[in-house]
Amino acid sequence: MQYLHTMVRVSDLDASLHFYCDLLGLEEVSRKDSEKGRFTLVFLAAPGERERALADKAPMVELTHNWDPEEYTGGRNFGHLAYRVDDIYALCEKLQAGGVTINRPPRDGHMAFVRSPDNISIELLQKGDALPPKEPWASMENTGSW
């Protein structure tokens, strides 16, 4: 058995690509538009994983955008996506500057949670040992649910 991808339905493809690629740092690997099926599939890989994703077709996140409007609720019911990051503080600063709410700040220098434009929970985990506690994160309260 081999893990391939996680599919996430998105209501606004441009907003989702801005979040996942421009802010979170994922890289677009492939895209498929289906006129007959009226959907677009965009496969994303973590930074530095593009070649592996192309060679193995895994692991990736598949953004599915259905062209006909649909309302998606309960994004939390599947759990969350998780990514190991080089500097959790720097990424949280970038996300926050991009208008993303840090739902669970990295108070411990190890873990944070944010949500995508479609309310998908994203866990960020510091690569290696936790970073020393740092403001403003150390004293920041949780916001919403994560």
The DSSP result for the chain, as a single string, is: ----EEEEE-S-HHHHHIIIIIIT--EEEEEEEETTTTEEEEEEE-TT-HHHHHHH--SEEEEEEESS------GGGG--EEEEES-HHHHHHHHHHTT--EEE--TTSSEEEEE-TT--EEEEEESSSPPPP-TTGGGPPP-S--
- Out of 71, 123, 135, 141, the active site residue is 123
Respond yes or no: is residue 123 known to be catalytic: yes
Which sequence positions are flagged as catalytic?
Answer: 123
